[in-house]
Structure 1
Amino acid sequence: MTHGIRLVGFDADDTLWRSQDYFDEAQLEFERIVGRYVDLADGRVAEALYAVETANIAVFGYGVKGMALSMIESATQITGGRITAADLHRIVEMAKTLLRHPVELLPGIRGAVAAVAERFDVVLITKGDLFHQEAKVRDSGLSDLFGRIEIVSEKDPATYARVLSEFDVDASAFLMVGNSPRSDIAPVLALGGWGVYMPYRTTWAHETHAEIVDGRERMREVATPDLLPGAVGELATQASAMQRIDDGENACDAR
């Protein structure tokens, strides 16, 4: 069967399995550590850490290791260099704990991905630390559902365009499922693709900063994984209809 949608991509963190919860817990622990040296209310610790993390993305990339290095830098700055080696070591150990944390799938996600995979080719497109992401994919038990797994350093229009070129799929025939407006939805819509937004209960502030100007008619929002197959199917029907209209207009032009 021919579909307007040929390929469906899935994000990983907080789309297939829990992730941000653990980062939020790590930030609370970071604040407890730094709170020994400064007043948390006056020091704006969370804001300072976010500023350092954002500035360091271009250097460290995404993931636990980049977060830990940013925490060490932030702690040193916030405390004026007074933080002890022992407390810096606590941050390192906290990062190790995060890296070793078992993968916890979102309820119903395996069935949802399997249902989509019955109709479409599906791929996993995730960003972050290569070693850690590979380990999470392996431990998730979901790798058998995906025809290909892409771990990228950034998820922007240029990256999606490159990946789709390798798949020989036009953006108009691609749909992305994910929890991040910035990384999963906006760049794909900008290319002319389709998106299903499934927000997670908590999202890193950096991933919520996205302005969707055009293409809202090519996206749906769902609350839970069991609604994913229906949303993907609905958009596939819409894409097929648009394709038939375009084919008809092109035929008329050819005459």
Structure 2
Amino acid sequence: MNVCIFAFKMEMNRMKKELDIITFDADDTLWENELFFRENEHCFCELIKEYADQNQVLESLLKNEIKTLPIYGYGIKGFVLSMIETALELSNNKISGNTIKEILELGKKQLSYPVKLIDGVEDTLSALQKDYTLVMATKGDLTDQERKIEESGLKKYFSHIEIMSEKNESGYRSLIDRLQVSPDKFLMVGNSLKSDIIPVLSIGGYAAHIPFYTTWEHEKVDKPETCDRMFSLKSIRELLSII
């Protein structure tokens, strides 16, 4: 048997015996989210197309989003402010008040979108809740995330819900300290390699990667080389087959 496959199976068996807590990302793991940003990016490009082409607009928008993350944090409100800043820059401050109003309306509309669960989510959570402590760990605008959590109907499955300012090694260490669990008893499930997978692997936890079909450019990183504590799944339903 291939050494890597053997090591993977051994680690998977050990995880099954020792795992206490399964933590889930929310956006694009439990419910759809990122596609709404892509739709609004397209609308934004149309609104200011007289000042720049689509590639220029998207490049400038991404730069402004990343630049202002330490100020605005993650979420729709920071996205809207970055669109306004981008529109002002690319138009040399000539953008009309009506266009800025339309940009604001895009954000308001996105903040009211209904929550659409990803297929298999509720069945999987219901099955896992019988044997494990389930936790939700997400990031983004506090008010919007709280709204989506309530509207999702999933709150009843989780013993603890945390809206994190940043999902990095420090953030996860603080989370597992609050949960009073060691990293080797902790599994993180999420769609983002950068935010959900790599930081958890780095502190000694387990991670299950379930890619979503669209990913924000800022979240794109190379897949880590590992053959033991990381699991790559096609859907959340497959989680039941590894634990």
Question: Would you say same fold, with TM above 0.5?
Answer: yes
Q: Which residue of 2 aligns with 1:228?
A: 239
Specify the SS of the correspondent of 1:83.
Answer: coil
Question: Per-residue displacement from partner, 1:4-25 (whole Å, max 9, x unpaired)?
Answer: 1111100000000000010100
CA distance in 2, matches of 1:181, 1:154: 14
Specify the SS of the correspondent of 1:134.
Answer: helix
Q: Which residue of 2 aligns with 1:151?
A: 163
1:195 maps to which of 204, 207, 212: 207
Q: Alpha carbon RMSD of aligned pairs, Å?
A: 1.4
Q: Which amino acid aligns with 2:167?
A: K
Q: Are 2:112 and 1:100 aligned?
A: yes
Specify the SS of the correspondent of 2:239.
Answer: helix
Q: How far did residue 216 of structure 1 move?
A: 4.1
Q: Which amino acid aligns with 1:71?
A: M
The list of structure 1 runs, each at least 4 consecutive aligned residues, that deviate by more than 6 angstroms after superposition, is: none
Q: Which amino acid aligns with 1:26?
A: N
Aligned partners of 1:10 and 1:176 also within 8 Å: yes
Aligned partners of 2:45 and 2:53 also within 8 Å: no
Go from structure 1 to structure 2 and tell me whether the alpha carbon gap of 1:211 and 1:223 turns closer, same or farther (over 3 Å shift).
closer
Q: Which residue of 1 aligns with 2:42?
A: 28
CA distance in 2, matches of 1:128, 1:208: 17
CA distance in 1, matches of 2:181, 2:115: 31
Q: How far did residue 210 of structure 1 move?
A: 5.4
Q: Are 2:91 and 1:79 aligned?
A: yes
Aligned partners of 1:37 and 1:82 also within 8 Å: no
Question: Per-residue displacement from partner, 1:133-174 (whole Å, max 9, x unpaired)?
Answer: 000000000000000100111100101101100111011110
Alignment of 1:48-63 (within 5 A): 48-63=60-75
Count, aligned residues: 228
TM-score scaled to structure 1, two decimals?
Answer: 0.86
The higher-RCO structure (CA 8 Å, 6+ apart) is 2
2:22 maps to which of 8, 17, 21: 8
Q: Which amino acid aligns with 2:190?
A: G
Q: Which residue of 1 aligns with 2:139?
A: 127
Q: How far did residue 38 of structure 1 move?
A: 2.7
Larger Rg: 1
TM-score scaled to structure 2, two decimals?
Answer: 0.90
Specify the SS of the correspondent of 2:18.
Answer: coil
Aligned partners of 2:183 and 2:205 also within 8 Å: yes
2:54 maps to which of 40, 45, 70: 40
Q: What's the % identity of the aligned pairs?
A: 36
- Structure 1, unmatched stretches of 5+, are 234-255
CA distance in 1, matches of 2:59, 2:36: 18
CA distance in 2, matches of 1:134, 1:78: 34
